[in-house]
A and B are shown apart, each in its own frame.
Chain A
Amino acid sequence: DAMVIQNPRYQVTQFGKPVTLSCSQTLNHNVMYWYQQKSSQAPKLLFHYYDKDFNNEADTPDNFQSRRPNTSFCFLDIRSPGLGDAAMYLCATSRETETQYFGPGTRLLVL
């Protein structure tokens, strides 16, 4: 089945230690998104790629970066995780302006 895959599902890191979360898709969608979702809150868009073009939301901290080496894969890099970065990180994809489909998420714990 075509889908959005996120690895790992759970990630534990230490305060200040860089961490990378990955997302892959078999939908061949040209737009990929990264959202942050904290407990009992709605997802918050961090940035998205339209094809190879990177688009950062104005309020996304510099600590968060992303890479998209090809159509299928997208990575979220957190350079120096703080306690406040503990959250669920959701990857989503869409074909142009069509429906966004979400992956299962990676829950990040910062110790």
Chain B
Amino acid sequence: GENVEQHPSTLSVQEGDSAVIKCTYSDSASNYFPWYKQELGKGPQLIIDIRSNVGEKKDQRIAVTLNKTAKHFSLHITETQPEDSAVYFCAASRRVGGYNKLIFGAGTRLAVHP
């Protein structure tokens, strides 16, 4: 069935270092890949997304890359700050009727140490 694997499950970095989170998906029909950041006790917040016709997208310190052939996409955070500490979820989605069904990865807990 549809599946998204996300690695690592936990990631600890020093402030100012880069962080990379990787996801692999199984459904070749997936065409939209959002990344959500979830702080403790809050709902997931979209931080960046990419569609299947694009290989890379950047927004300030955050970038996402997509390799459709390998069914692999990654989140890159540069110059990490303590406020980047949170759980990050990747998702792969495809159209099902009138909506996009999101298949989430298991999440990565990122800790940025001052």
Contacts and interface: CB of A to CB of B under 8 A. Distances in A.
A96 B99 contact: yes
Nearest to A49: B99
The majority secondary structure among interface residues of chain B is strand
Contact of B46 (A30, A45, A48, A99): A99
Interface stretch (A11-19, A61-69, A70-78, A101-109): A101-109
Most chain A beta-carbon contacts within 10 A, residue among B43, B49, B98, B101: B43
A101 B98 contact: no
A107 B101 contact: no
Interface of A: 4, 6, 30-31, 33, 40-43, 45, 48, 50, 55, 90, 94, 96-105, 107
Contact of A31 (B34, B42, B45, B98): B98
28 contacts: A4-B43, A31-B99, A33-B99, A41-B107, A42-B105, A42-B107, A43-B89, A48-B99, A50-B99, A55-B97, A90-B43, A94-B99, A96-B99, A97-B32, A97-B95, A97-B99, A97-B100, A98-B100, A100-B34, A100-B46, A100-B100, A100-B102, A102-B36, A102-B43, A102-B44, A104-B42, A104-B43, A105-B42
Contact of A107 (B41, B44, B95, B99): B41
A45 B89 CA distance: 15
B101 A101 contact: no
- Greatest chain A CB density within 10 A among B36, B97, B98, B105 is at B98
Contacts of B42: 104-105
Contact of A103 (B43, B100, B107): B43
A33 B95 CA distance: 15
A56 B105 CA distance: 21
A40 B105 CA distance: 12
Question: Which of A41, A94, A100 has the most CB atoms of chain B within a 10 A radius of its CB?
Answer: A100
Contacts of A101: 46
